[in-house]
Structure 1
Amino acid sequence: MFFWYNRNGPQDGEEIRLRLPRKGEIFGVVAQLMGGARMRVQCADGKERLCRVPGKIKRQIWVKEGDIVLIMPWSVEGDEKADIAYRYTRVQVDALRRKGLLPQIQA
């Protein structure tokens, strides 16, 4: 179940829902937009991957440079390519940092 809040973030008393990494997912920072729903992402495991936004969610999330994302490496060429599974908002990134769940990523 999803809920919507205004652009300034959740109001007082509103709960922030966080999407945590599932099996095989990694945190990353978008380093460079390549065009065609592709981008270079610096991952938490120290590798830089060419990532794409799958067609299923292409028009639902808009990714910019510097955004924190969850990626799923491919089973083939997993060290080089991945799919973007989720993009975190600023409010969600702050909550992840407060809880200590977001590793330091060199972008």
Structure 2
Amino acid sequence: MSDDDLPEGVRAPEDDEQFAEVVEMLGANRIKVRCADGQERTARIPGRMRKRDWIREGDLVLISPWDWQEEKADVEYRYDNRDAEQLREGGYVAEGV
């Protein structure tokens, strides 16, 4: 997916990133996400996002799966509600993600 395909001003996923929806807050800066590939993963919220970007259940995020442990990932970006709705309405994010 290129930047030209997405609505203007919306961050596009890079090669190793994918869309995911937050399913459950696990505590200790960890969340459970349902990914675009259909898999559920435990994702880690990095220190640079902990206080600046509040993440809640139902939020759309970009995650980067770990190379060495497929069931885990890092959160790279959180979309605000307006951008998430644009992505869902435009068909960039599948239903249930």
Structure of greater Rg: 1
Q: TM bucket by the smaller chain?
A: 0.7 to 0.9
Percent of counterpart pairs with the same letter? 40
2:81 equivalent to 1:81 = no
Q: Is the 8 A contact 1:44 1:104 kept in 2?
A: no
- What is the CA distance between 1:58 and its match in structure 2? 1.9
TM-score w.r.t. the length of structure 1 is: 0.77
Which letter maps to 1:95? Q
Match of 2:32 among 6, 21, 40: 40
Give runs of ≥4 in structure 1 deviating > 4 Å: none
TM-score w.r.t. the length of structure 2 is: 0.84
Distance 1:82 1:49 in 2: 7
- What is the CA distance between 1:56 and its match in structure 2? 2.2
Distance 2:74 2:37 in 1: 16
Q: Is the 8 A contact 1:31 1:41 kept in 2?
A: yes
Q: How many residue pairs end up in the alignment?
A: 91
1:17 is paired with a residue of what secondary structure? coil
